[in-house]
Structure 1
């Protein structure tokens, strides 16, 4: 996927002339060069004019913004939800060296400079008098003078070195009722978490400096920001801090509001036909038979938003086996992980073959969108109809073709898919289970402020929020010295107990190890040519317990039989005598 997007940027290619399926059908570099040349030649015969800036300050919200705005209002209203900010994206960084220092004043200027450059970070979102969800970005020349308050930069002094105390403070920040105000364009904040200096009183000079173990927390509303925006934000913040001046802004640069307008006038009739055919015959309100502890009421579709997580970190051999399989079969890691998840759901639901879940797509389908901060991500249904007799190799091939066909139509909005099927977002079963695969970028793991290196801090230990009932996310760190593969299950407290998920996670790991066995593993490996029916979810200790129960029952049957025979013998003896 990264190579596909790199080619599109470097050679200015568009989806209608250059598709990712071309790369999988032609896996060598020489073939890639030929495919790219053909796409370039095709461009000259097609109308591929770039999107132009429209110099607007007000327009209809994008499809992605509309989806998030409505979902937050409908599924996560405050009368049941215990969490205020379901759509917050937190980014936490920590100074790691004793000799490094960061100026708060300079950081604030850099932060303001990034907001000035990217209009989307000072954009309001509201419903106008016609009932249309509208975005309106604020002109920097007429913004009120209290920049510190507007940009949400706050300093919190931490008087306790205990890490749990720090996480409690972060949780409180993330759950602040006034963290965001979309109607006023308050969509991003910078929070300084400074540890108390034990051995000195601050002077005017060093009071401005952050030191080792101090933290910087950014909170951004998801309606204005997505995962791919992170590296752009970090890059521009670093540049602004280093220059200690405003970032260059091109007057004719395309802004997110321009994208929203262009998006609404795209002809999507072919994609509409694709999605109607893709979901034909599927009962979109039918729930998969997951082993939940509670069922959601058909009349009450609101969520508490509370969730927990369980993680598996695979050893290096298992990781290598997984990566080698993907490489040898010309698969993306996303496709292979999704195939594993489908097979697991097939086994977990006792053989359901018509499976539909959700996954997300970056949806930056044009070169103009690659370096833009904003919310582009599309949430889409991924439906498969498995054959129980297929081998895992056959499942993988089928899932790969499915992913490639969906990718060509990933820009079609979820609300259109639901509307075409006369459904709404609150009662669709595929939106309850979601899958994703994340390759962690080095650009996101580190924030560099004028040669001061800040490392990203995981927020896994915080109380989880979940917009879905059940999710699986693989995470791969390809650029680190110790390449790591892990997967994270997040589950809603509305439906699942911790003990149930613990068992589900154990079953998943056991099945995963059957597929990607290593020399040091004691798990019996299944042939990739064998039927997926042969994969086992019954854990070894459960199998032993079942064998023991069966043996005891047989023993009881034998004993009972001997007693019966003795009684019959005695009865016959009495009768004869």
Structure 2
């Protein structure tokens, strides 16, 4: 049995985490568990068993070095706290809200319900979720410029009920009414973080609008809310007392723990890595279609395409051959795409991580997600396989330091604030690996999701890949004040073409990877090649040809050298 290196152990644990397998260590024993809604990956499970001695040794050393088991989040003694502090992530969103508002952090969902709905059971189910998860009834108050959490009593929460006739009488359609209530700014010092509106359209036909603020909720929380809401509604509708497992701690406990754990020398050592990694980082010079506003406007649109299973499986195989994860390969390809667009050698991309490294946080609703800044150095002459190995190494190091909140990194970097763009990076990349979410099973109620056309873009460009049973979806959310729909649809196609070129030959250099589609190649090779003009003999000298061209198109650009014309 071979002994794994530190990097190999971290990589194996990262792959296990991506597959939903939680590896924990207590009393010198290794324990494995699988997140709800995730299928067991037998191959990774077998690797974990084979390398059990190396993993135990790693956790023993890690425990001595970081005291990670002792310092895991736990229920805190709140009596010792004058105020309940905000988590670092909450604090940054609170600052953003005070500075420019936070509509871009609204999280709305709209469903149509058909059947005999028990309104009282529905309201009771939502209220019990709020009872269980304090963060959904937490407001943010201020004391001498410092924000703190204040928890409201759950019995004051109510679901809003309105009929379609009443909406029409107010001058709204149902659609415009939903747009109105979901775009009203939150008052973080007073509003419930979870707002629910039930619209009765006609007998046994309803529309349910659920609105949350990101400061109390993240993508991981969705599956928790759906699971608990389903169980609670069915219990209340049947007149049965609901039974859900108790929560070991609340989000406020986590915030107190985080403030204590990430402080002093421990925080300084972890931030030192990021200060070195992100020194002199520059904005991405991605060409815009429209002038960049002086202040960032979060208006957004989205586009998507689906790649087939053949491409997905080929990318998985390539990743395994290179000792990397699929996430690393897809991120490397996105780096290559951006390089081909801007010819910028130094590229920094943001990428979210769940921020729930400890098992006791997995059943808790809240804002845990953190963001990693992954920086790459690229040239057109390097093979894609070399870029992948660089991204792999950088990503593994970032994972080792992922518990440092991005907010503290930005603060420590001391970057001068530019109101026109986000700090450190302007482009995001994500591979969805949160627990799978199924639509709530409300018994006899037929439930269908409704498309929400409103989109906001917190960054210039955000690319998200979701693995499907037969392929993968590539979705882009972009700032439509900067980019046109045509450019972004082309970017999606170029990314897919680049992936196909990569699986064809991973050793191809970045500059030579195929990116253009067949229609674009047709234009370049044929459509743009017009027959050579007939030129009189006396005009065949270069100066004469130049004068003739200038006379025909006097406003055209004569010479383009980078930004000089």
Q: 2:56: which partner in 1?
A: 37
Shift in Å at residue 423 of structure 1?
1.8
Q: 1:26 to 1:528 in 2, by over 3 A?
A: farther
Secondary structure of the 2:164 match is strand
Q: CA deviation at 1:433?
A: 1.3
**Secondary structure of 1:359's partner?**
strand
Deviations 1:8-52 (A, max 9, x none): 4665699xx99xxxx999982433433443356558867432443
Structure 2 Cα separation of the partners of residues 367 and 293 of structure 1: 45
Determine helix, strand or coil for the equivalent of 2:327. Answer: helix
| Structure 2 equivalent of residue 388 of structure 1 | 380
Name 2:87's counterpart in structure 1: 62
Structure 2 CA distance for aligned equivalents of residues 530 and 449 of structure 1: 52
Matched, 1:423 2:415: yes
How many residues of Structure 1 are paired with residues of Structure 2 in the alignment?
495
Aligned partners of 2:310 and 2:471 also within 8 Å: no
1:367 to 359, 362, 383: 359
8 Å CA contact retained: 1:445, 1:455: no
Other-structure match for 1:519? none
Normalised by the size of structure 2, how large is the TM-score? Answer: 0.78
Structure 1 position 328, deviation (Å): 4.3
Matched, 1:240 2:253: no
Aligned match for 1:111, one of 120, 126, 134: 126
Does the C-alpha gap of structure 1 residues 247 and 543 become closer, same or farther in structure 2, counting only changes over 3 Å?
same
Task: Give 1:132's match in structure 2, choosing from 146, 162, 168.
Answer: 146
* Residue matched to 1:3: 16
* 2:373/2:424 contact within 8 Å kept: yes
Cα pair distance change 1:246/1:545, threshold 3 Å: closer
Q: Does 1:510 align with 2:497?
A: yes
Secondary structure at the aligned position of 1:376 is classed as coil
Using the alignment, how far apart are the partners of 1:102 and 1:440 within structure 2?
A: 30
Task: Measure how far apart 1:106 and its partner are.
Answer: 0.6
* In 1: Cα distance, 2:523 partner to 2:493 partner: 16
Q: In 2, are the aligned partners of 1:92 and 1:458 still within 8 Å (CA)?
A: yes
Distance 1:39 1:537, change over 3 A: closer
SS at match of 1:488: strand
Partner of 1:259: 254
Correspondences of 1:308-319 after superposition (within 5 Å): 308-319=301-312
SS in 2 for 1:290: coil
Check whether the contact 2:220–2:435 (CA below 8 A) recurs between aligned residues. Answer: no
- Please, which of 463, 466, 469 is the counterpart of residue 475 of structure 1? 466
Report if aligned partners of 1:477, 1:485 keep a CA contact under 8 Å in 2. Answer: yes
Do residues 121 (structure 1) and 136 (structure 2) align? yes
Residue in 2 that maps onto 1:447: 440
Q: C-alpha distance in 2, partners of 1:440/1:563?
A: 71
Q: Return the TM-score normalized by structure 1.
A: 0.76
Q: Kindly indicate whether the alpha-carbon contact (under 8 Å) linking 1:318 and 1:513 is maintained by their aligned counterparts in 2.
A: yes
Shift in alpha-carbon separation, 1:171–1:29, aligned structure 2, 3 A: same
Using the TM superposition, give the Cα deviation of residue 274 of structure 1 relative to its aligned residue in structure 2, in angstroms. 0.5
Aligned residue number for residue 464 of structure 1: 455
Aligned counterpart, 1:492:
479
Q: 2:316, 2:196 → 1: CA distance?
A: 38
> Is 2:216 aligned against 1:224?
yes
Is 1:176 matched with 2:175? no
Distance 1:352 1:234 in 2: 43
Q: Please list the CA deviations of residues 414-448 of structure 1 after superposition, one character each: whole Å capped at 9, or x if unmatched.
A: 23212222125645554421111114643x23212
Q: Structure 2: where are the runs of 5+ without partners? A: 1-13, 33-41, 541-565
Separation of aligned partners in 1, 2:89 and 2:434: 23
CA-CA distance at 1:339 after TM superposition: 1.1
Cα RMSD after superposing both structures: 3.4
Q: Structure 1 4/500 Cα, relative in aligned 2: closer, same or farther at 3 Å? A: closer
Partners of 1:384 and 1:457 lie apart in 2 by: 39
CA–CA distance in structure 2, aligned partners of residues 10 and 44 of structure 1: 12
Match of 1:337 in 2: 330
Residue-by-residue CA offset, 1:37-81 (whole Å, 9 max, x unaligned): 33565588674324432253841111000111112332x34xxxx
Structure 1: segments with no counterpart, 5+ residues: 78-83, 198-209, 517-524, 566-577
Change in 2 beyond 3 A, CA 1:126/1:92 = same
Runs of 4+ in 1 over 6 A off after TM superposition: 23-27
